[in-house]
Amino acid sequence: MTKNIQKFRDGIFALFTRRFGVVAELMIERLFKFEKSKNQFYDRYDNINKKRVEIKFSRALKANEKTITIANIIEQIFNANVEKRMFSSDEVKIYNFDCNIQQVKVTEFDILYYGIFFSDKIAIFKINSERIVDCPDGSAYQHKGNEGEGQFHLKSENYDYHIKNHFDRWITYEELHALFGGKI
């Protein structure tokens, strides 16, 4: 990975939640030639198949080894470095991780594109909205009393399920950079 591509990848990992989400949405829009959504309840529209598309991605980060306490708070803040917690797609069996795919409102879309940004490349998965309830570590509720908005966890323990049942493709950071018009 060149220094420019590494800087690009590190910048993606450093983005706050909403800005990171926009990167994922634009990636899926460009890859699949989707259009902007027709309302605010889903992310993109597949005009060819007449499907509402939702897009949810997360970053693969090693689980924190320690909880924050008053005795270790300064050490934990100093160690809160994303670069130290990143890992590659080849290391999914080595490190514990938990990517929470949340705010999933299955009645508002037809297809969900979801995935994980690893340190070396990005895994893209695809699932029909009615099949989300079958995902391991899923819930129809995100918060107590919250109906119609669920979540599921894509983590070390169920990663193989997602690979076997919903994997669509890999995209490298070089390919993503080019997809956005970048020059190496």
CA atoms within 13 A on the CB side of 148: 4
Domain of 88 in residue numbering reads as: 3-179
- pLDDT at 143 (0 to 100): 52
* 184 within some domain: no
29-81 residue pLDDT tens: 999 999 999 899 999 999 999 999 999 999 999 888 889 999 999 988 887 77
Express as a percent the part of the chain with pLDDT over 70: 93
The answer to the question of residue 88 being in a domain is yes
Look-up of token digits 């969900």: 112
Residue 152: its pLDDT value, please? 85
Is 79 among the domain residues?
A: yes
Q: Which amino acid is at 112?
A: L
pTM for this predicted structure: 0.90
Structure tokens belonging to residue 163: 């690979």
Tokens 């597949």 appear where? 46
The residue count of the chain comes to 184
The answer as to whether 69 is a domain residue is yes
4-13 confidence digits (pLDDT tens): 999 999 999 9
Each residue's pLDDT tens digit, 86-107? 999 999 999 988 888 888 888 8
Count the domains in the chain.
1
